[in-house]
């Protein structure tokens, strides 16, 4: 009776192996044949043939299970800020079960603020046919969506995806892209308000912006709309390359009572250290859109935590890799903005930061 049951079990494993030649079924069959039951030679030969033919297919199937994520960054590879962002993204992916080199392959390109390089990398990455692409900034998303309307794209630090035509609406993106807003343009008014509060004598403000980026125009418009109420005159300072930045800031600094507002753009991020150094050299109080400017010696920053956006982007990547569609995932806006004040820089500029402002600050660098 027992031998009959063993034979039945063996036949069951054999049929399963023939139908589904995976390593588990092959092992199960071999184990079942080793329990005192004799195996017919023709059956064993069939199994060997199946195994030999199936193993390359199994190995190839296991390889194709590894997902591919492409990452297009506007910053330079040696930028510590960018490294922090990428580390936050990868760490969150790992928490969600995606390990680079194991079940996912991550292909990263660093454009260092170069528009030509961004376009070239967008073409290169889409040609790799990844399962999904993470893109930083509008300047990355635009060429990617020109290159593909089928590969899912998750973006971060994009100020106006609807206006740029990347999505139909924030609630219902409707295409192959979704992600996270950099901030609302109205934040520009807050930069000017804080700058005047910190440096009341300012009557002129140079706005460092990228004229080729529609987001630069939007941020400029928000600042311009409130400038008369603060009694300041605005001057645009273009930021396309290092030479233009140096000339623009030097020209602006020739007249007294000036300050700067650095709006968000890929060139501003790429030339962060230069902009901070120029503001210090010309004794210009400056407002910045992102924490690392203040941490690097800028007077103050007010904006969202971009590392949080990369963590949130990892969660969207996870959901899309598991079957959800970008069109069904709403574009999300930052829920928190942080004020960081660098007191050391304030003292170097001869500014006495109001105690009420310091009390509101999320971080004070001394």
The structural domains of the chain, with segments of one domain joined by +, span 2-64, 67-182+306-328, 187-303+337-365
pLDDT at residue 252 is higher than 90: yes
Q: Examine domains 67-182+306-328 and 187-303+337-365 and report if their fold is the same.
A: yes
3-state secondary structure of 115: helix
Q: Give the separation between CA 353 and CA 330, rounded to whole angstroms.
A: 40
DSSP letter, residue 301: E
Burial class (CB in 10 A: 0-12, 13-18, 19+), 263: buried
The answer as to CATH 3.40.50.2300 being correct for domain 67-182+306-328 is yes
pLDDT at residue 15 is higher than 50: no
Rounded average pLDDT over 24-45: 47
CATH number for the region 187-303+337-365 comes to 3.40.50.2300
Return mean pLDDT, the chain.
86
Q: Which residues contact 67 (CB under 8 A, 6 or more apart)?
A: 98, 103, 104, 105, 131, 132, 321
User: Comparing 45-54, 290-299, 339-348, which segment has the lowest mean pLDDT?
Assistant: 45-54
pLDDT band at 24 (very low <50, low <70, confident <90, very high): very low
Rounded average pLDDT over 58-77: 75
pTM: 0.71
């Amino acid at each position: 009776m027992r031998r009959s049951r063993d034979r039945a079990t063996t036949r069951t494993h054999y049929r399963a192996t023939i139908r589904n030649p995976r390593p588990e079924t092959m092992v199960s069959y071999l184990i079942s044949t080793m329990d005192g039951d004799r195996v017919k030679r023709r059956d064993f030969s069939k199994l060997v043939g199946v195994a030999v033919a199936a193993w390359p297919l199994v190995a190839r199937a296991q390889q194709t299970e590894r997902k591919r994520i492409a990452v297009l960054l506007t910053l330079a590879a040696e930028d510590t800020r960018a490294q922090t962002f990428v580390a936050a993204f990868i760490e969150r992916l790992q928490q969600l079960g995606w390990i680079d080199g194991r079940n996912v392959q991550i292909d990263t390109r660093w454009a260092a603020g170069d528009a030509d390089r961004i376009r070239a990398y967008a073409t290169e990455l889409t040609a790799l046919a990844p399962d999904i692409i993470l893109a930083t900034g509008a300047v990355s998303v635009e060429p990617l969506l020109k290159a593909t309307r089928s590969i899912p794209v998750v973006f971060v630090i994009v100020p106006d995806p609807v206006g740029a035509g990347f999505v139909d609406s924030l609630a219902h993106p409707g295409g192959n892209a979704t992600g996270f807003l950099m901030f609302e343009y109205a934040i520009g008014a807050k930069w000017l308000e804080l700058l005047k509060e910190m440096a009341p004598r300012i009557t002129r403000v140079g706005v460092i912006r990228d004229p080729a980026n529609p987001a630069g125009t939007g941020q400029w418009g928000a600042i311009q709309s409130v400038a008369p109420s603060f009694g300041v005159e605005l001057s645009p300072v273009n930021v396309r390359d290092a030479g233009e930045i140096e000339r623009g800031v030097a020209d602006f600094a020739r007249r007294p009572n000036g300050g700067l507002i650095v709006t968000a753009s890929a060139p501003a991020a790429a030339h962060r250290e230069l902009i901070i150094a120029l503001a210090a050299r010309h004794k210009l109080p400056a407002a910045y859109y992102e924490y690392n400017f203040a941490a690097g010696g800028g007077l103050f920053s007010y904006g969202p935590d971009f590392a949080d956006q990369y963590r949130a982007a990892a969660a969207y990547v996870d959901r899309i890799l598991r079957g959800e569609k970008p069109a069904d995932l709403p574009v999300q806006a930052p829920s928190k903005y942080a004020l960081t004040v660098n007191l050391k820089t304030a003292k170097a500029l001869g500014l006495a930061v109001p105690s009420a402002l310091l009390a509101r600050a999320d971080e004070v660098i001394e």
